Amino acid sequence: MTAVMRKTTRKHHGRRKARRAPVRRKASASGGKTAPGVRRQSSRSVGREPIGGRPSAGARPAAGARISKTDYYLDIAQKVAGRSTCLRRNFGAVIVKNDQIVATGYNGAPRKTVNCIDMGACYRQSLGIKPGERYELCRAIHAEQNAIIHASRFDMMDGTLYVVGLDAPTGKVLGDGECCRMCKRAIINAGLVKVVMRGPGGKPVEYMVEDWIRTNLGELEMRNGKLVPRMVGGY
């Protein structure tokens, strides 16, 4: 090779571009790696609420916003009430013992029979009967009774019954709801010790079963030193 060619070759090699060194990205606190199947979230979206101001699904509540166990079970009872088939009032009941749900129930017609919402008619309503009266004319089994039917007495003994009532047309919580005397009798025999209902303003209201027993459900009164039945309106 001549001197001129060697000089040209060295000149040509000298013009070759140098490779850029790889840029090292700063590792995050977790090591800079994303777990398989997990999509990395943009830093601009972290901590921001979606449109409407509601937290996204799966988001943890703010510190101190954890609901109480009472509200937890009442919320479940309210969801159960959504299965009710009554045209007037929807009730949901949840039996809890040792912090475990034993059974649930809602008010509606017996199994395999036609529901009132399917017919679009309520016999008691057509007669103008007020809520809490003439239950012998109602086709439904109450939420408390259905919950008790679906559990054994052994599992319910010393348990608590959570009940929520809703106005069927509006879906609003009934602040004046209370177990009827038919359900109170079943609750006593089931061995339950307490009933918790959602009262005015959504606040829990507790009823001790022993108070119903002590007062004989208000169905007896003392006359001349003797207990005698007395007429009580409603059920």
Tens digits of residue pLDDT in 37-67: 433 333 333 333 333 333 333 444 566 789 9
Q: From CA 106, how far away is CA 91, in angstroms rounded?
A: 6
Q: Which residue has the tokens 């207990």?
A: 227
pLDDT computed for residue 26 by the predictor: 46
Each residue's pLDDT, cut to its tens digit, for the chain (235 residues) gives 555 445 444 544 545 555 555 545 444 444 444 444 433 333 333 333 333 333 333 444 566 789 999 999 999 999 999 999 999 999 999 999 999 999 999 999 999 999 999 989 888 888 888 877 888 888 899 999 999 999 999 999 999 999 999 999 999 999 887 899 899 999 999 999 999 999 988 899 999 999 999 999 888 888 888 988 886 665 5
Whether 144 is catalytic: yes
Q: From CA 153, how far away is CA 148, in angstroms rounded?
A: 8
Q: From CA 72, how far away is CA 69, in angstroms rounded?
A: 5
CA distances from 19 to 13, 16, 23 (A): 14, 9, 12
pLDDT computed for residue 112 by the predictor: 93
pLDDT computed for residue 231 by the predictor: 67
Q: From CA 197, how far away is CA 204, in angstroms rounded?
A: 6
From 49, 133, 144, 206, the catalytic residue: 144
pLDDT computed for residue 37 by the predictor: 41
Residues 6+ apart with CB under 8 A from 11: none
pLDDT computed for residue 204 by the predictor: 95
